[in-house]
Structure 1
Amino acid sequence: MIHAIRGRLRGRGRQYVVVDIGPLDLVVHVPASLLEAEWDIGDAIELFTYLHIRENEWTLYGFESLEQRRLFELLLEVNGIGPRLALSILSSFSPEVLVSAIAQGNADVIARAPGVGHKAAQRVVLHLQDKLELVGVAGAELAGGETDAELVEALRSLGYNVVEAQRVVQMLPKDVTDLEERLRLALMQLGRA
């Protein structure tokens, strides 16, 4: 296993970044949050990696934290969830929101990820509910995991990227649980940035 890579950002595509690690340029598939990160070409980056090996294909996946990589590995243990679907789930939710949805048994939130049906989302919840302590990520303290997932989705539909949306949602006061009020506060925060 390749634990992590360090190098310079050489380029990026729709679902991957190219990392220059000396004599090699590696294509590393990453969640949307990393694609939208404010890296410039030539910036030094570090990614925690997972190497997926199939008969005739080796694919490297990269994550910003060990916890995010561990979630990816756990998602791969779920029947019917492959690397692309696992990456889609991690691109749609922060680790905290995903852990919260799983802990609360809220498959509807997970089913919002592109390509994830309701049955697959239920399998994720059933398989991972008792394994969350292995991740090391505390679930977001939400009045409902669905509320913050809906809020991130609403902000994305307004043109904000996943990173901005998740960052501002995590900064909101936890005592405000009404979706409309949380959206208003989030837009105020984003207006100041």
Structure 2
Amino acid sequence: MIYSVRGKLIYKDTSLAVIECAGVGYACRTTLSTVSELGDIGSEQFLYTYLSVKEDGAELFGFKSLKELDCFKMLISVSGVGPKAALSILSDIPADKFIMLAASGDSKAFTKVKGIGAKTAQRIVLELKDKIQKNDLISSVSSQSYNFPAADFNENSNISEAVSALTVLGYSNAEIMPVISKLDASLPSSELIKLALKAIASAKFS
């Protein structure tokens, strides 16, 4: 297995990056997110990789972050989602946002990606929601990926107080964040806690 590649970037386009290592050019299929983070042609680059081996050949995929690679591997584990579809999804939906959408069960968001129908979108949510929560991937998501600004996470903010209180009550980030991100951040922390508890309870019994 090829874990990663490091070397000179000799070619890139919207879905491909070629990294030259010891005189060998490794063509890595990739996402728009990764391509946008690559430097100029001739610069040294590092990509985490995934090697897909099939009867008709092998193909290498490269990503700037382990998080994006993990999302890619989760997606191709879903029935009916191949590497090409996984790249399309992660090109339209950055890794942090993908984690939040899947964890919150928002299958409709995935249907906006070209080639992803309603049934496939529903399978993505059904098959990955528990995996994301089990591995607590939401804790790695930056605050910018939620529906309220990063400032709302300041020490004295209502959101921060509500999240802290819910954590003390034993709820995980995977349960808290998808719910509280949909609430009005201007509400008092006590009201946010009350609404969040109600929403979490509803989600458990839905």
TM-score (norm 1): 0.70
Q: CA deviation at 1:141?
A: 2.4
Q: CA deviation at 1:22?
A: 1.4
Q: CA deviation at 1:175?
A: 4.8
Question: Per-residue displacement from partner, 1:79-137 (whole Å, max 9, x unpaired)?
Answer: 00000001111111111111111111101111111211111111000000000143733
* Bigger Cα Rg: 2
| Counterpart for residue 12 of structure 2 | 12
| Counterpart for residue 141 of structure 2 | 138
Alignment of 1:1-193 (within 5 A): 1-37=1-37, 39-132=39-132, 133-134=134-135, 136=137, 137-138=140-141, 140-142=145-147, 175=185
Letter in 2 for 1:142: N
Letter in 2 for 1:50: Y
| Counterpart for residue 164 of structure 2 | none
- Asked whether the equivalents of residues 6 and 44 of structure 2 are also in contact (C-alpha less than 8 Å), the reply is yes
Give the distance between the partners of 2:89 and 2:115, measured in 1 at CA.
9
Q: CA deviation at 1:38?
A: 5.1
| Count of aligned pairs | 146
Identity %: 31
Letter in 2 for 1:10: I
| Counterpart for residue 198 of structure 2 | none
The change in CA–CA distance for 1:135 and 1:53 in structure 2 (over 3 A counts) is farther
Question: Per-residue displacement from partner, 1:140-168 (whole Å, max 9, x unpaired)?
Answer: 3226xxxxxxxxxxxxxxxxxxxxxxxxx
- Asked whether the equivalents of residues 68 and 95 of structure 2 are also in contact (C-alpha less than 8 Å), the reply is yes
Higher relative contact order (CA 8 A, sep 6+): 1
TM-score (norm 2): 0.66
- Asked whether the equivalents of residues 14 and 31 of structure 2 are also in contact (C-alpha less than 8 Å), the reply is no
SS in 1 for 2:89: helix
Give the distance between the partners of 1:31 and 1:93, measured in 2 at CA.
10
Q: Structure 2 unaligned segments of length 5 or more: list them.
A: 149-183, 187-206
Letter in 1 for 2:90: L
- Asked whether the equivalents of residues 70 and 135 of structure 1 are also in contact (C-alpha less than 8 Å), the reply is no
Letter in 1 for 2:56: N
RMSD: 1.9
Letter in 1 for 2:44: A
- Asked whether the equivalents of residues 10 and 20 of structure 2 are also in contact (C-alpha less than 8 Å), the reply is yes
- Asked whether the equivalents of residues 67 and 135 of structure 1 are also in contact (C-alpha less than 8 Å), the reply is no
- Asked whether the equivalents of residues 37 and 64 of structure 2 are also in contact (C-alpha less than 8 Å), the reply is no
Give the distance between the partners of 1:99 and 1:40, measured in 2 at CA.
29
Question: Per-residue displacement from partner, 1:20-70 (whole Å, max 9, x unpaired)?
Answer: 111201110010112233511111110000000111211000111111111
Q: CA deviation at 1:12?
A: 1.3
| Counterpart for residue 146 of structure 1 | none
Q: Structure 1 unaligned segments of length 5 or more: list them.
A: 144-173, 177-193
